Structure formats: structure tokens, C-alpha cells
Chain A
Amino acid sequence: MAYEALDFYDVDSLLSEEERMVRDMVRDWVDEEVIPNIENACRDGVFPDEWRVSLGEMGVLGAPLKGYGCPGLSYAAYGVICRELERGDSGLRSFASVQGSLAMYPIWDFGSKEQKNHYLPKMASGEWIGCFGLTEPDYGSNPGDMITKAEDKGDHYLINGAKMWITNGTIAEVAVVWAKLDGVIRGFIVEKNDPGFSAPEMKGKHSLKASVTSELVFQDCKIPKNRILPGVKGLRGPFSCLNNARFGISWGALGSAQACFDSAKEYAMSRIQFNHPIASYQLVQNKLAWMLREITKGQLLAYHLAQKKDAGTWIPEHISLAKMNNVDIALEIARVARDIHGANGILDEYPIMRHMANLESVKTYEGTHDIHNLIIGRHITGIQAFTRDA
């Protein structure tokens, strides 16, 4: 059965023709290449390398960035790309988010001309994979207190410390690493073969199984002086990357939600219990109606946020709201869809359980659900509630 994207209010009709063509391109690719292969990729715990190649060929990596071989699309197009990828799998969307928003973006915004020329074209084409190292074993929601540090040794920098939970780490050629130089957070570009750097894979995930997650270990890691990102100091660096990635997630989560809705609707129409399709019972209809309601609201939120992003009238709190809301409803929709599928819902024949497990990570990364509540709480009250010692 062909995927019929739920779009109750016809929100996609607000997109430009170009944005819709990009949508169809990615949607067709996901139908043909991702959905038939995703369960195997999850079972094997690998990110298929063909997907890297295809994403590069389609030219969607670093979608909203302009110049240096980057696509130069609108944020709305970037959102649509994330949504269509995540309809396939959140791990696939994670790959694209990390590559574009977390690894290419800081080089594009804060890098030197030489750095941009050197890295961006090869990252846009998918030839080089990037990763983003912020989180540490002891500092997750609170990255400002990170302990990874860089020292200026005259003709080079020396980095020491460890990062954890780093998407794409093991397969990356290029790592954008945040570390303290004289107590100030700075961005550094570390390459795969730099001495003193290793990126062992973290195994045993029950979520985002088709995405590579790694530690980054720096033991007297020596990098040349021209690898520091000159354009930014402090938490603003990593946070501006996160704003873009979170924006993409607010669209992406809707892709998972739409896939779960689609499957739940099909299943409810065809599953007969007590002589009638379960879709004919009011309790089931209530669940489907609730899903449609939340997806429609989420779509309007994401669309309007994209307009603000393209117009430059957004604030980070707008993004927090959309990331928090859309991941939250997507996860709940996945759970309700699992319920509608009964026992079948736990099988890998249906995408439900995979989306549900994936969304647990999505709820946590890029600012946990509650961290976004605190960001919005601070916006409302003017009082920060992250820590007691401020």
C-alpha cells in the first residue's frame, strides 16, 4: 500500500513548488531504498553506506547553507527533508541532522575561508562524514561545565578529554569538537587520523539502531593551529548549531508520527474483531482522531516556525517549543499506534516499535524534553530554573 502522507489541512500546499519537488524526491527515495532495508540495518546495527552516497547525490546535506557546494535551500525545504527522512527512520534523519546542522553549519558560520573551502564541498557531497562532539559522560544537559580542554602549545593545540553519545563518531572523517581553551569554550576541527584521537563505537542500543553512536577519546590529541573555529567563543557556538538541528527535529518527528498514523489507520481498517473492523469502534476512532489532531497542530507549528526561520524573526524559545511538542506527540502517537496494532505492533513487520524506540532518543537528545520546558519557563518568568547555584 502506498504511503499517503496525512496532511489534513493541506499544509504542504503552502510550500513552494521547488520545496514540494524536493519533498517528492526524498519521499520516493525513502520508499524505494530505505523502507525495504531499514529493518536489516537495525538488526545489524549499521548505517548503510549507500544511504550516505544517495544523500550526497540528491544534494540534501547541509540543505539551508549557501555557497561552498551547499544546496542553498530554504529552511522550509530543510524541514521537509527531515520529515521525509524520519518517516523512514529517525536514525537516518539523525545522520542528516548531524552532518548538516551540527558539523557543516559551525564550519560554515564560524570557520575561516580556508576551512570552508576545504571541508564544506566534500561534506555537502557526502564524501566526508562529520560529527559533533559536545556531550561528555558527566555533562549532558549541562555542557557548559565540560571538562575536555585544549591547550595552546605554540605551533599546535593539544586536546585532552572524552565525549560520549556522539552520532556518526566512528564513521566520521571530520569531528567538530567543543573544548575549553583557557576556560572558554571553543570549536576545533579534529580529523579521523589525528594522533591521540580515537572514536570507538558504543554498542547495545535499543534505539536508533541504524545510527552509529560513539565515544570520542582525546589523549594528547595534537592538531594544527589552523583547526580552531575563529568565529565564535562560548556556548553560543554549540547552541547555534543545536538551534538548527532542533528545528529539523521538529519537522522530522512528524515524519515518524505520520508513518505510525498511516500504519495504525491501515491496520484498524483491516483488523476484524467481534465481527467488525476495529476502526468501526468509537474507542479506536477516538485514538485515530487524536493522532490526526496532534499531527495537524504539529504541522502548522513546524510550517510557521519555518517561515520565521526563513524570515529571520525567530527566537530560540520558538524552536524549543516546536522540538518539545512535536517529539512528545510523535512518541505518544507511536505508543497509541502500537496499542492499535495489538500484538502485531511489536513485530518488525510494522514500523511502529522501531519509531517508538527511536523517538525515546529523540526526546532526550538536542535538549531533553524538560530542558526545553525550562527554556520556555525562563522565557515566561525571567527566572532560570536550571540550577540552584546561579
Chain B
Amino acid sequence: MNIAVLLKQVPDTTAKIIIAGEGVDENSVSKWSMSPYDEYALESGLRMKENNGGVLIAITCGPDRSKKMLTDAAAVGADTLVYISDEGVMDSTHVQQLLAAAIRKYEADVVLCGKQAADTNAGSTGPGVAEILEATCVTLVSEVSYTDGNYITMRPSNAGSEKVSTQGTSVFAFDKGSTELRRPNVRGIMMAKKKIIESITPSDLGVHLGDSNVHLDSQTPPPEKAAGQKFEGSEHVSTVVSKLRNEANVI
């Protein structure tokens, strides 16, 4: 079984970022990490490989720095590392075209990815790639297993949670589940260092990226956090309760 896992490198969710001009100042990012939902996709892919045999192909598309994340994936067990170089500013459709072409090239049977990337939060990669591949897509997946030609997934439903089974090429977009993520170890890191990253370009994949139909018109930074308010003494209890209820919406 060829298991493709789509990964994206994003600023670590705990790292400080600085907004400058069109977006985050990349030079100010102190730590880049694998997007958290992708970590669940990778972990589930590794488990699927352990249970059913096969090859895990980690695929990313992005700037050169993303290669480091592929090595991190190899340290926990990814077998094949595929890096697709990006071409300047690309929109989500461009990225999906490239990822889908790589998935075809490596003949993946099943595709796992995060439900959204922690930087853009666009959430279109899984469904978009499935559309291009004409594959089945299940979103917000927390668990997946494979038996006798069926992929069984768990996802939330209006009744709690539901179990969905699919056949044939399927794309699963992962949410955070209760699955425990594995840590790398020294042995894995030493093997990862020896692994070759297969670098491919859009033209290697035979994809010609046309002009984007999407234009960013303007962007506003999040509002500054309002200063905290301080209340002392029991006479303020009702004010505080009403503020917590009506303004902070926490009770």
C-alpha cells in the first residue's frame, strides 16, 4: 500500500511572529514546525503502514526551508521524501494541482493530510486534492484503519461521532484526535539524515500553473488586545459576573 501524507511547514504555534507588509515576516520566525493537524495525519499514516505494510510517502510543496520538515518526518518513519519546489506566490488551487500530480506520480493508494494548515487556516487542501484526483474525501477525521479494501474512519457528526467507510483512492483530512503522537528517537534521526529528499519541480510533474484567479485585496492585522480590567472587593462580584457572561462569554 502506498500511503501519501501531505505536510506543510508553518511557524511554530508557540513562536512569536511579526506582521510586516503583506504578512508574517519570515525572518522573524524563530521556529518552523510541521503544522499540528498534519502531525496527526502523519501519525495515522505511520500506524496504517505498521498495520498493513506499505510505503509512506511524505510530500510537501513550499520554500526550501520545508525540506527540514521532511527530514523530521523521516525521523519518525516516513520512507520516501518528496519536495516540490514552489513557484513564487501560489494560490491554494496551484498547490493542490502540484500535490495531486505528485500523488499520481508516486501512485499513492490513500492520501492523508491535516484539515487545515495552522498558518493560513484555508482548509481546502484535502477536498481540493480529492477533487482533482476524482477521489473520495472524508474531512475532520480522527482515526483511520484499513481492512479488506475498506478504509474505516471516525469523524464527528451531529449525533456525536460517526464511522464512515470508503473504498478506492481516498483522501482523509485530519483533525486533532486522541491518537498519541510518537516522538523521534536518536536511531530515527540518524537514519533520517541518510535519506535522500527527492526534489521535483512543477515542470517535472508536467503541471503548468496558470495565472491565479484569486487576488488579495487588502489585509488587516488582528485588533490589539484590550487592556485587562481589575476589580477588588466583594461589591464588584455582580459586575464581574455580568462581564464574564456578556463580554467574555466564558460563563
Contact = CB atoms under 8 A, between A and B. Distances in A.
B186 A60 contact: yes
A73 interface: yes
Contact of B193 (A4, A17, A71): A17
A4 B30 contact: yes
A21 B72 CA distance: 8
Nearest to B185: A59
A22 B71 CA distance: 12
Interface in B110-156: none
A59 B183 contact: no
A29 B190 CA distance: 18
A21 B12 contact: no
B75 A59 contact: no
Interface in B16-31: 16, 30-31
A28 interface: yes
A57 interface: yes
B183 A28 contact: yes
B150 to A, nearest CB: 33
A54 B182 CA distance: 11
Contact of B186 (A2, A28, A29, A71): A71
A180 B190 CA distance: 41
B40 to A, nearest CB: 16
Nearest to A60: B186
Contacts of A25: 75, 183-186, 189
Contacts of A72: 190
B46 to A, nearest CB: 15
Nearest to A28: B183
B185 A21 contact: no
B73 to A, nearest CB: 12
B187 interface: yes
B15 interface: yes
Contact of A59 (B15, B30, B187): B187
A58 interface: yes
Nearest to B190: A18
B183 A21 contact: no
Contacts of A18: 189-190, 193
A2 B14 contact: yes
A22 to B, nearest CB: 6
Given A58-B186, A59-B186, A71-B186, A21 B15 contact: no
Interface string A1-40: 0101000000000000110011001001100000000000
A57 B185 CA distance: 7
A223 B68 CA distance: 51
A58 B185 contact: yes
Interface string A51-72: 0001001111001000000011
A119 B116 CA distance: 48
Interface string A340-375: 000000000000000000000000000000000000
B15 to A, nearest CB: 6
A2 B12 contact: yes
Given A17-B71, A21-B71, A21-B75, A29 B189 contact: no
Nearest to B193: A18
Interface string B158-184: 000000000000000000000000011
A60 B15 CA distance: 26
Nearest to B14: A2
Contact of A57 (B16, B68, B72, B183): B183
A292 to B, nearest CB: 16
A17 B68 CA distance: 9
Interface in B228-248: none
Nearest to B12: A2
A288 to B, nearest CB: 18
Contacts of A54: 183
Contacts of A22: 186, 189
Contacts of B31: 2
B180 to A, nearest CB: 12
A58 B183 contact: yes
B5 interface: no
10 contacts: A2-B16, A4-B30, A21-B72, A21-B75, A25-B186, A25-B189, A54-B183, A57-B185, A59-B186, A71-B190
Interface of B: 12, 14-16, 30-31, 68, 71-72, 75, 183-187, 189-190, 192-193
Given A2-B12, A17-B193, A71-B186, 5 more contacts: A2-B14, A2-B31, A25-B75, A57-B183, A59-B185
